[in-house]
């Protein structure tokens, strides 16, 4: 069970999720072991607890097992050289994991993180640098910017994989449109009742939706609304 996967170190946390089969792929396990969660949280003493944590501005970093689920479901599209959009990128943690999955085997991928709270965007860049990813930022392999993630990033799309880290009341069509052919999106949808939806687009552009499991995420919204939520 997820709450049994807390550890004393990052390596122990991830190994427990591997042992519990929450992480099924060695690629995901390796990327998460290489990404120390302590670099991306406010309260370092709780960095390796498998639970959400506030990061300020009414935002949270999800529990580690949720990030593991996201990486596992998106994994077929997180190949070396892939382009990834991370909406609601928060502390930068998932951007770091995705980078380590798509920039490997001699190929350079692209991870674009969009966060609507500028202060969190600035913090995420600092976190990524502290995690040894300053060069990836300089080289444009990771791009973090402040904006409305619901609109995606037309300039840098289409994206092989899109991860959304906050719940949208409905499926944003702009993000569906920016999926590559083929491509996959992992997105929580709903208000009082929420579920993660897997959105697949095939080579012909046909879109299919699959409900994965129920969740409770902070809303995907604008800065003013989130601060008043």
Question: How many helices (H) and strands (E) are present in the chain, helices listed first?
Answer: 8, 9
- Domain of 116, CATH number, reads 3.40.50.150
Choice among 6, 25, 51, 62 that is catalytic: 62
Torsion angle (degrees, nearest 10) of CA 200, 203, 206, 210: -20
Residue of 161, 169, 58, 77 whose CA lies nearest to 112: 161
- Is 4 part of any domain? no
Q: Let me know if 39 is exposed, middle or buried by CB neighbors in 10 A (0-12, 13-18, 19+).
A: buried
Inside any domain, residue 140: yes
Triad 163, 167, 173: Cα angle to 5°: 65
pLDDT tens digit string along 175-211? 999 999 999 999 998 877 888 999 999 999 999 999 9
Question: Is 56 within a domain?
Answer: no
Residue range(s) defining the domain that contains residue 155: 63-226
132-169 pLDDT, tens digit each: 999 999 999 999 999 999 999 999 999 999 999 878 88
Q: How many domains does the chain have?
A: 1
Rounded to two decimals, the pTM is: 0.91
Indicate if the alpha-carbon torsion angle 38, 223, 141, 105 is positive or negative.
Answer: positive
Is residue 146 in some structural domain? yes
Q: In angstroms, rounded to a whole number, what is the distance separating the alpha carbons of residues 161 and 159? A: 5
Q: Is 124 a catalytic residue?
A: no
């Amino acid at each position: 069970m997820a709450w049994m996967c807390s550890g004393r170190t990052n390596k122990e946390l991830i190994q427990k999720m591997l042992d519990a089969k929450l992480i099924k792929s060695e690629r995901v396990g390796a990327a998460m072991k290489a990404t120390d969660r302590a670099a991306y949280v406010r309260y370092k003493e709780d960095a390796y607890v498998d639970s959400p944590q506030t990061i300020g501005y009414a935002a949270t970093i999800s529990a580690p097992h949720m990030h593991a689920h996201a990486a596992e479901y998106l994994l077929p599209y997180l190949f070396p050289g892939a382009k990834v959009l991370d909406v609601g990128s928060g502390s930068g943690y998932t951007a770091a994991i995705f980078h380590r999955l798509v920039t490997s085997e001699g190929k350079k991928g692209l991870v674009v993180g969009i966060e609507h709270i500028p202060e969190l965007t600035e913090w995420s860049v600092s976190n990524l640098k502290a995690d040894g990813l300053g060069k990836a930022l300089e080289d444009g392999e990771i791009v973090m910017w402040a904006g409305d993630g619901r609109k995606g990033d037309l300039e840098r799309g289409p994206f092989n994989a899109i991860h959304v880290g906050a719940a949208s009341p409905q499926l944003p069509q702009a993000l569906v449109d920016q999926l590559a052919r083929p491509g996959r999106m992992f997105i929580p949808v709903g208000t009082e009742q929420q579920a993660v939806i897997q959105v697949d687009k095939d080579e012909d552009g046909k879109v299919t939706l699959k409900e994965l499991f129920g969740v409770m995420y902070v809303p995907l919204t604008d800065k003013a609304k989130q601060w008043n939520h």
